[in-house]
Structure 1
């Protein structure tokens, strides 16, 4: 993940400075997977209606990753249309990310992300091109679980503690 190509201050009417992307990125890096965070992935059904579900996501190697069972509504929606949102309440910052989520089958990436999930307490192991574990969130569906990586296009952050502010970060032109 690169730095944003553009930052827009959404809170300058109150005299707040633009929030740096590093604030959101550093919180993602330090709070996942150690903190008990729930991320919400929003996708679009084939008929255009929205769908949202809670997932366990983690920030690894400067990217956001999450899992889903192949038969879940979320996975079926992403297979048809990879555009999605991912939202989370971090310590002192509400964050919504927009981008495309694609399934990852690269063995090295699977092993790396599984190791970080294990550090956080979820005993994920790589089985072929997916994960298995003794348990997962009910919203993930039954094993095996596919791994997805979010390619970030835009993000919005609203700070709930000093320094306050709200910003939009654009990652692609």
Structure 2
């Protein structure tokens, strides 16, 4: 069942309408770059860009086990992923809030590896073994973020702010 959209009139132009959830999912599916925000052990934020794949109603990303974001997620799984454009009056920005959960089932990882390569090309080819993606000499942990809340920001007339809540 699709989440209910709540258009916030305080931040939306008159006549603005909330996009249908399937249209938002299409934006998540097509977006090539996301910014991930995690929390360091001392409470400071950490933000970095990365590719992500929308599959099975969740965003998926990968990271090396020693990278800052992986170490942050060990202590605090709360995460925000954002995507959109850096243009003021064009496009649509999305903010996905949720908890990152490790994906380690090799069959599921193979399906995600295929999705990565279809979306990003052969540079992002991963082998799967031992619950990880493998690429060259390194390995990567894979995480799933099922949305808890998604915010959408329509830019340009009509401007809009929409919230979708899950679960």
* TM-score bracket for this pair, using the shorter chain length: 0.7 to 0.9
The equivalent of 1:106 in structure 2 is 105
Q: CA deviation at 1:22?
A: 2.1
Deviation at 1:164, TM superposition (A): 4.7
* Contact kept in structure 2, 1:51 and 1:74, CA below 8 Å: yes
For the aligned residue pairs, the C-alpha RMSD in angstroms reads 2.1
Matched position secondary structure for 1:146: strand
- Structure 1 residue ranges (4+ consecutive) displaced by more than 4 angstroms after TM superposition: 161-164
Tell me the distance in 1 between the aligned counterparts of 2:113 and 2:55: 10
Find the counterpart in structure 2 of residue 92 from structure 1. 91
Structure 1 residue runs without a partner (length 5+): 135-141
For residues 2-53 of structure 1, the C-alpha deviation after alignment (integer angstroms, 9 at most, x for no partner) is 522x422124652212232222112222x15xxxx22111011111111111
- Where do 5+ consecutive residues of structure 2 fail to align? none
Task: Answer yes or no: is 1:42 the counterpart of 2:44.
Answer: no
Mean CA deviation greater in 120-129 or 64-73: 120-129
Equivalent of residue 69 in structure 2, options 54, 71, 74? 74
TM-score of the pair, normalised by structure 1: 0.82
Equivalent pairs, count: 158
